[in-house]
Amino acid sequence: MKRFFYLLVLIGLSALVFTLASPLQPHAQADGDPDRPNRKVSRDIVQKVKTGHGADLVRVIIQPVGAWNTSLDYSIEDSGGSNVRRFRNFQVRAVTLSANAAAALANRSDVDYVSLNREVRSLGHLSATTGADQVRTQSGTNSTGLDGTGVGIAIVDSGIDTTHKAFLDRSNNVRVIYSEDFTGEGRTDDPYGHGTHVAALAAGNGRISNAQYLGIAPNANLLNLRVLDSQGVGTTAGVLRALDWIASNQTLYNIRVVNLSLGMPAIDSYRTDPVCRSVRRLVDSGIVVFAAAGNNGVDASGNKVYGHIHSPGNEPSAITVGASNTLGTDGRSDDTVASFSSRGPTRSFFTDANGVIVYDNLIKPDLVAPGNKLIEAQAVNNLLVTDNPTLDAGVSPVDNRKMMYLSGSSMATPVAAGIAALMIQANPSLSPNLIKALMMYTAQPLAGFNMLEQGAGQVNAVGAVKLASLVRTDLNETTTVGDPLLTVTENAPPQNTIADQTFTWSRGVILNYTYATGSDLINKYQTVYRTGGLLADGIITGDGVILPEPGFFSSGIVTGDHILTSNGIITGDGAPFISVSDLWGNLLQDGVFGNGIITGDGIVTGDGIVTGDLAATAQSAAVNGEQSTTMGMQLDDGSDCLHY
């Protein structure tokens, strides 16, 4: 096998808005034959072949049927394949070869799917408005309450500036306990500036400005896995290598949470997308994975756009996070879904045996979290601030104490990831599925926004950690559906107060194409909470009928037949927005999904899951906040606060 190298296609990048691919053709084919559908090759490869660029060298990800075999290795070599990258935990290869050869390989019976090694891109009192402050002061676990101690959070991003004060513990030890570069640049710092900000949102300490910019889990350990280069660009193969490393080292570093504030156009169905499959492997091993929804919620004219969830946010097992806007206040009564936050449903797809395109159409995001103009750690001399000086929040003139603004679902995702770390510290026995269910059940639905915009609602650290601490620690594979889930028999009312506002929990969970409600979701063990499955297992969808299959859900669970516009109370309330059968049948109110993207009033645009004209909305991070209001900037006096 020849030596591996990366084939990077460098393009301009906004920190917050993805530039999307051009529309794709309606049917896939292999080896240059436009009349022969091939369900096993991604359409961007097909497009190259069809447009006369079949001889172009491309970097692809090849997934086998079952285990990898030497015959397939020989076939790749005979096809002119080079620079082969193997993975320890995943049955895939990253290979450079011609587009024609890639399409031809997909015809082999031992090949499951061939896709392009696509470009990956990165997509403020935060601790008060999320309830994380209350978790630390009310838990009584130790002198500082729950703060993520001992939990490993893997930040798969553009690197972390480990010299920043935000990443020290109270004994002045750096909490970034491992760093590795997967970009080929040979560095693990953060010249781009995105990963440092993301890491600090999840787990930054409160040393600067008297704990005004406190991360959610300020004593968690961080794993710095750098997959985005100095321009903020990476590849599918780079992300796979980082996820592969996590799979090999999760026990050594107690990696329980993975944060993916990045993404790529969700073209391939989650069933065949290699990153989605790798995410599923991690979730099945007990790691909870958070993925950014994306930042394409509006078109160039400011109209709402549906269907722009990015990969791996289209993976059902991931917790996909959109961005909310706190309007600069700690109180939650005025919070909204940020207009730029990507809306569902997922529009990734596969082609069936008859050549018919089948869209995934999952309800995403699962949750929203604050993500508009948040202030957190600034990496020294980073590109984002160099190109956009107004991103510097003006907190401090000292390099390792500087703070910056950023907006986007990239910022919302580590907020949710930090809450998961607090839940795991409270109860290490929690499975990823149970963490996901508890976070959705305790979320606050935001009035006036439908489930394709906010999922179950805005994250609520107080409620999620409270329930997490009450879950039985002896749950296992033999626990039967309907057994008690909690250690108590009487629950407090399903509500709590944050920043002087009392609100009711959603009391529901999103299940791929529908939602479920009922107090038995937290009073009784449901089989779908186990590790190795999906929350939506056992939900039957067909002819508009939604039923829980016996064995997965107990009685007392109600599933909905509409995606709803919330009235701000519970998941099951609100006006119907679209019926589940219509979603399944590709309809939206008076418009039809067809092969296009839905805009606010059901207007169909484009010919594929992504539209190229959205590049016009790719604004810099400096201007991507919805409001000029921020989460209360406070100058740093240069002294370290250790009372966070």
* CA nearest to 404, candidates 173, 639, 619, 195: 195
Kindly state the percentage of the chain with pLDDT values over 90.
61
> Above 60 in pLDDT, residue 281?
yes
* Position 395, amino acid: V
pLDDT number for residue 202: 97
What pLDDT sits at residue 591? 39
Q: Does residue 100 carry a pLDDT above 60? A: yes
Give pLDDT, residue 302.
85
- Asked if the structure places residue 75 within a domain, the reply is no
- Are 540 and 531 contacting, i.e. CB atoms less than 8 angstroms apart? no
Longest alpha-carbon distance in the chain = 69
Q: Which distant-in-sequence residues (6+ apart) come within 8 Å of 436 by Cβ?
A: 288, 319, 366, 509, 535
Active site residue 27: no
Share the mean pLDDT of the chain: 83
User: What pLDDT score was predicted for residue 598?
Assistant: 43
Q: How confident is the model at residue 21 (pLDDT cuts 50, 70, 90)?
A: very low
How far is the C-alpha of 93 from the C-alpha of 112, rounded, in Å?
12
Query: What does DSSP assign to residue 26?
Result: S
For the ranges 9-18, 347-356, 617-626, the one whose mean pLDDT is highest: 347-356
410 a catalytic residue: yes
More confident residue, 560 or 112: 112
Spatial strand order of the sheet with 597-599 comes to 305-306, 597-599, 604-605
Q: Which of 5-9, 70-74, 386-390, 485-489 has the lowest mean pLDDT?
A: 5-9
Using alpha carbons, list the distances in angstroms from residue 498 to 129, 140, 147, 449, 467.
7, 18, 18, 21, 16
d(C-alpha 548, C-alpha 60), whole Å = 39
For residues 239 and 234, what is the distance between their CA atoms, to the nearest angstrom? 8
Catalytic residue among 125, 164, 194, 197: 194
Higher pLDDT, 236 or 545: 236
Of 80-89, 208-217, 490-499, minimum mean pLDDT range: 490-499
Residue in 340, 589, 323 with CA at minimum distance from that of residue 458: 323
Provide mean pLDDT across the span 532-554. 72
- If one compares 495 and 620, the residue with the highest pLDDT of the two is 495
**Which residues, at least 6 apart from 19, have a Cβ–Cβ distance to it below 8 Å?**
11, 12, 13, 121, 614, 615, 618
| pLDDT for the residue numbered 122 | 60
* Residue 92 falls inside a structural domain: no
The better pLDDT of the pair 111, 299 is held by 111
Residue 358 lies in a domain: yes
Domain limits for position 130: 121-612
User: Which amino acid, residue 185?
Assistant: E
Please report the pLDDT score of residue 331 as a whole number.
Answer: 80
Confidence of residue 176 (pLDDT cuts 50, 70, 90): very high
Question: Which residue in 115, 179, 311, 410 is the catalytic one?
Answer: 410
User: Hey, which bits of 525-636 come out as E strands?
Assistant: 539-542, 545-548, 558-559, 562-565, 575-579, 587-588, 591-592, 597-599, 604-605
Q: Which residues of 422-450 are buried (b: 16+ CB within 10 A; e: fewer)?
A: bbbbbbeebbbbbbbbbbbbbbbbbbebb
Q: Which residue has the higher pLDDT, 376 or 33?
A: 376
Do 63 and 87 meet the contact criterion of CB atoms below 8 Å apart?
no
What is the domain-level CATH number for residue 204?
Answer: 3.40.50.200
Please check whether residue 68 is in contact with residue 111, taking contact to mean a CB–CB distance below 8 angstroms. Answer: no
Highest mean pLDDT among 71-75, 89-93, 276-280: 276-280
Of 335-339, 392-396, 525-529, 609-613, where does mean pLDDT reach its minimum?
Answer: 609-613
In a domain, residue 212? The reply is yes
Is 194 noted as a catalytic residue in this protein? yes
Q: Where are the beta strands (DSSP E) in 450-606?
A: 495-498, 501-504, 508-511, 514-517, 539-542, 545-548, 558-559, 562-565, 575-579, 587-588, 591-592, 597-599, 604-605
Q: How far apart are the first and last CA of the chain?
A: 53
Q: Which two tokens stand for residue 153?
A: 């959070």
pLDDT at 546 over 60: no
Catalytic residue among 157, 520, 537, 636: 157
For residue 45, is it within any domain? no
Q: How many CA atoms lie within 13 A of 529 on its CB side?
A: 31
Predicted local confidence at residue 79, as pLDDT: 92
Segment 106-118 mean pLDDT: 92
Q: What pLDDT score does 548 carry?
A: 59
Give domain status of residue 18, yes or no: no
| Residue 608, pLDDT score | 27
- The helix or strand, by DSSP H or E, that contains position 72, with its residue range, turns out to be helix 70-78
In this structure, the strands spanning 255-260 and 288-292 are parallel
pLDDT grade for 639, boundaries at 50, 70 and 90? confident
Q: Letter for the amino acid at 248?
A: S
Average pLDDT over residues 319-348: 89
Residue, of 31 and 143, whose pLDDT is higher: 143
Long-range contacts of 26-30 (CB under 8 A, 24+ apart): 26/357, 26/595, 26/607, 27/351, 27/355, 27/357, 28/351, 28/355, 29/103, 30/103, 30/104, 30/106, 30/107
198 pLDDT above the threshold of 70: yes
| Per-residue pLDDT reduced to its tens digit, 567-623 | 877 777 888 888 887 776 654 433 334 333 444 333 233 222 222 222 212 222 333
Domains held by the chain: number: 1
* Average pLDDT value for residue range 262-275: 92
Dihedrals phi, psi of 603, to nearest 5 degrees: -80, 135
Rounded Cα distance, 316 and 511, in Å: 9
Residue 111 pLDDT class (50, 70, 90 cuts): very high
**Residue 468 lies inside a defined structural domain of this protein:** yes
Lowest mean pLDDT among 12-26, 34-48, 136-150: 12-26
- Given this model, what pLDDT does residue 240 score? 96
Is residue 630 domain-resident? Answer: no
**Of 351, 203, 162, nearest in space to 267 by CA:** 351
